[in-house]
């Protein structure tokens, strides 16, 4: 199957038009006309993941996070991203990213469903399509319980060993927000939506303190901790739509250790 056909299948559920303006999804490296015989799905195009794609003799790497984000003026082995780009090109591996367009079209609702949020609304609206709000994260009224109850539910649902909590765990929660990925700036949206608890990732020291002082309990489940669900979802979707192409997932795991 040609690369451009697989891209068409992906963009059927995650059109590039749904991505945030600052984002860089799409074909990062490669030839849209290339015949694809093996796909690896991962969260990031790390050295480990690229090496796995080479070992699997795959020639299409599909990631959630784009390998190129900002301006690049040189591609060489003196730079981490440059080294990865050169390795992909030398190995004949195409690389395609499905980022905030996936967050908007799939990730937010998928995460909310895994957590058991019923009839959630969009946390941060990024667009309105046919009168329907779309965007990042979800927020929903929930049965009255403590923050600790939802933290334990989160850890079980996403198979997390630990999370970071800003605020009291015995706080009574009636409304929960979840926003996979980097949650910097999401506390404001959670407060506007009257959430008592925000579940997200990449919360900094001052962001956490400020959120608690504003009345919000925040759970930092890590960037990988919530977004790794992209891997299985995308792989299973493509297995159904591209049954003649080998499919491999590469779960590198949380990129840090708590010691």
CA–CA distance, 26 with 97 (Å, rounded to integer): 5
Q: Examine the pLDDT at 70 and tell me if it is beyond 90.
A: no
Per-residue confidence band for 76, with pLDDT thresholds at 50, 70 and 90: very high
| The pLDDT of residue 255 | 85
| The pLDDT of residue 127 | 96
178-207 mean pLDDT: 96
Q: Examine the pLDDT at 256 and tell me if it is beyond 90.
A: no
| The pLDDT of residue 115 | 98
Residue-wise pLDDT for 16-52, tens only, equals 999 999 999 999 999 999 999 999 999 999 999 999 9
The residue among 224, 245, 220 whose CA lies nearest residue 235 is 245
CA–CA distance, 144 with 116 (Å, rounded to integer): 14
Residue-wise pLDDT for 136-191, tens only, equals 999 999 999 999 999 999 999 999 999 999 999 999 999 999 999 999 899 999 99
Secondary structure letter of residue 184 according to DSSP: T
23-27, 70-74, 84-88: least confidently modelled range: 70-74
Give Cβ neighbours of residue 160 (< 8 Å, ≥ 6 apart). Answer: 154, 221, 222, 225
CA-based angle 169:171:172, to the nearest 5? 130
DSSP reduced 3-state for 167: coil
- State the residue for tokens 């708590």: 258
**Mean pLDDT across the chain:** 96
105-124 mean pLDDT: 98
| The pLDDT of residue 258 | 82
58-63 mean pLDDT: 98
> In this structure, what is the dihedral angle of CA atoms 18, 20, 21, 22, given to the nearest 10 degrees?
-150
| The pLDDT of residue 254 | 84
Residue 248 structure tokens: 């491999």
With 0.85 as the threshold, say if the pTM is over it: yes
């Amino acid at each position: 199957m040609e690369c451009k056909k697989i891209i068409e299948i992906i963009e059927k559920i995650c059109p590039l038009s749904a991505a945030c303006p600052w984002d860089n999804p799409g074909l990062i490296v490669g030839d849209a006309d290339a015949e694809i015989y093996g796909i690896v799905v991962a969260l990031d195009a790390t050295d480990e993941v690229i090496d796995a794609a080479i070992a699997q003799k795959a020639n299409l790497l599909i990631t959630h996070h784009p390998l190129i984000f900002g301006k690049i003026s040189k591609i060489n082995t003196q730079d981490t991203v440059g080294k990865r780009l050169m390795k992909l090109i030398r190995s004949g591996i195409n690389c395609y990213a499905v980022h905030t367009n996936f967050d908007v079209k799939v990730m937010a609702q998928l995460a909310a469903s895994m957590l058991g949020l019923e009839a959630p609304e969009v946390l941060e609206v990024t667009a309105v399509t046919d009168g329907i709000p779309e965007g990042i994260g979800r927020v929903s009224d929930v049965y009255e319980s403590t923050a600790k109850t939802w933290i334990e539910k989160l850890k079980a649902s996403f198979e997390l060993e630990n999370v970071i909590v800003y605020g009291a765990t015995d706080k009574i929660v009636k409304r929960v927000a979840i926003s996979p990925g980097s949650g910097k700036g999401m506390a404001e949206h959670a407060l506007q939506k009257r959430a008592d608890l925000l579940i997200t990732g990449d919360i900094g020291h001052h962001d956490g303190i400020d959120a608690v002082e504003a009345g919000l309990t925040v759970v930092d489940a890590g960037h990988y901790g919530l977004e790794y669900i992209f891997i299985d979802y995308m792989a299973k979707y493509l297995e159904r739509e591209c049954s003649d192409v080998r499919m491999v997932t590469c779960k590198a795991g949380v990129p840090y250790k708590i010691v």
